[in-house]
Homo-oligomer: A and B are copies of this chain.
Amino acid sequence: MDDQQFKQALEEIATDRKRGASELARRCLGILAESARAAPAGDGHALKERLVDRTTRLAEARPSMAPIQNLLRCWRETLASIPRHDLDAARHQAADSAETLADASRKAVTRIAEHMAGYLGSRKTLMCHSLSSTLVEVCRVLRDRELRMIITESRPLYEGRRLAQTLSEWNVPTTFITEAQMGLFVGKADAALVGADRLLADGAVINKAGTYLLALAARDRGIPFYACCESFKCSDATPQTVTLEEMDAAELQMPDWPHVKVRNIYFDITPARLVSAWITEEGVMRVWKRS
């Protein structure tokens, strides 16, 4: 894949409005695997520099899509160990790691949903916050087992409405609330359940802002709180070092008043002490352990 072909592929990623974030993330890894095999480079070191540059540009094409950021970050980390001089070996290793990651991503969500569904069992009421493809997959597996859901609208962009539509199409009885009502409803659930954008080194969960509040309310009401997350989302960051992405303040549709600053931080940190179990493709972990 030469520079011109990469530019076209980059444009494809930047403008795609049909595929979901996980699917696009896997397409990015496909582009990088092709780049690893055929991008112009004199040696392993030069190849690595070029691949790091392409990875950065792909990540920048969709800055708010967490799965893209996560998978590309994981891949960039694997580049550290590619041979500096043996170009063929470097191409082979880099392409392999991209394809392995894409394949792992495909399988992980299904396995998480199977683990979670088996652990929870039938006839459960689950409460969740925000939209996550992993949560949707859990619901898909449980939808014929008398599942009931309590979901939030998820301000500012109301992605909970899309989840409500999916659950409606699956005939899952669903209660739809504002974030403000989470404390009123969590006690009616058998469990609270969230996806995760990232897991920190200590098991803390980075997820849509409001998740920390749900976890606090679940703990206060004696309801278990589970985080479902592919293990490749584990990060070396700590609550002290992690950066939480902030989006356009305009999403809150607030008039512009002097002295009033609108904030729109998308993620918050739920400390590991509030998590009852972490569910990855490897199974259910009741005590945090880096995989």
Known: A156-B178, A180-B155, A252-B178. A257 touches B212 (CB 8 A): no
Q: Assess whether A176 is in contact with B217, with CB atoms less than 8 Å apart.
A: no
Known: A213-B213, A217-B216, A252-B176. A265 touches B164 (CB 8 A): no
Q: In chain A, residues 192-246, which have Cβ atoms closer than 8 Å to a Cβ of chain B?
A: 208-210, 212-213, 216-217, 220, 244
> Which of A175, A212, A264 has the most CB atoms of chain B within a 10 A radius of its CB?
A212
Q: Assess whether A153 is in contact with B263, with CB atoms less than 8 Å apart.
A: no
A79 at the interface (CB under 8 A from B): no
A100 at the interface (CB under 8 A from B): no
Q: Assess whether A261 is in contact with B179, with CB atoms less than 8 Å apart.
A: no
A128 at the interface (CB under 8 A from B): no
> Which of A156, A181, A209, A257 has the most CB atoms of chain B within a 10 A radius of its CB?
A181
A214 to chain B, nearest CB (A): 8
Q: Assess whether A153 is in contact with B244, with CB atoms less than 8 Å apart.
A: no
CA distance A265 to B179 in the complex (A): 11
A177 at the interface (CB under 8 A from B): yes
Known: A183-B216, A216-B217. A178 touches B268 (CB 8 A): no
A148 to chain B, nearest CB (A): 10
Residues of B close to A176: CB separation below 8 A: 252, 254, 260-263
A93 at the interface (CB under 8 A from B): no
From B180, B209, B260, give the contact of A164 (CB < 8 A): B260
Q: In chain A, residues 143-184, which have Cβ atoms closer than 8 Å to a Cβ of chain B?
A: 153-156, 161, 164-165, 167-168, 171-184
Q: Assess whether A216 is in contact with B220, with CB atoms less than 8 Å apart.
A: yes
In the complex, per-residue mask of A243-261: 1 if CB is within 8 Å of any chain B CB, else 0: 0100000001011011111
Known: A180-B179, A209-B178. A173 touches B220 (CB 8 A): no
Residues of B close to A6: CB separation below 8 A: none
CA distance A156 to B213 in the complex (A): 18
From B217, B257, B263, B264, give the contact of A165 (CB < 8 A): B257
CA distance A176 to B262 in the complex (A): 5
CA distance A260 to B216 in the complex (A): 26
Q: Assess whether A252 is in contact with B181, with CB atoms less than 8 Å apart.
A: no
A158 to chain B, nearest CB (A): 9
Residues of B close to A261: CB separation below 8 A: 173-176
Known: A178-B179, A216-B217, A220-B216. A259 touches B155 (CB 8 A): no
A212 to chain B, nearest CB (A): 4
A288 at the interface (CB under 8 A from B): no
